[in-house]
């Protein structure tokens, strides 16, 4: 069972239009916006519009959502000019892995050579 999104969840607030963000993509399932602390020239976060606390709450019924996530990542990478050069996709699951916001999100990073 997935926990509901807390009212203070910043990503839920961005999806709802209650918190400012530079939105680069939005559809009925996903919202993508620029990270406010970018770790690369291109650093975009892709989040489900519905609150999902982490990757730990994903199961088989989420396959269409995950397929959309990666299609959107490829689209954004192409739009950002990093699709052919190479890019990194990062998902942290839980605080021990470095997840700082308890809302599933995918980091699209590119525009520079990535280290190990």
The partner residues of 47 in beta bridges, in order of sequence, read 31
Is residue 51 within 8 Å of residue 103, measured between CB atoms? yes
Out of 43, 51, 105, 107, the active site residue is: 105
- Would you call 105 a catalytic residue per the annotation? yes
Instruction: Specify whether the CB–CB gap between 52 and 104 falls below 8 A.
Output: yes
Catalytically active residues are 105
């Amino acid at each position: 069972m997935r926990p509901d999104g807390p009212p203070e969840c910043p990503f839920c607030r961005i999806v709802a239009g209650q918190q400012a963000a530079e939105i680069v993509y939005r559809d009925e399932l996903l919202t993508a916006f620029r990270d406010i602390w970018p770790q690369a020239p291109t650093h975009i976060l892709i989040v489900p519009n519905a609150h999902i606390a982490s990757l730990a709450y994903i199961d088989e019924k989420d396959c269409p959502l995950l397929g959309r996530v990666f299609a959107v990542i490829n689209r954004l990478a192409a739009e950002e000019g990093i699709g052919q050069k190479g890019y990194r996709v990062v998902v942290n699951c839980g605080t021990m892995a470095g997840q700082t916001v308890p809302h599933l999100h995918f980091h699209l990073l590119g525009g520079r050579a990535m280290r190990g």
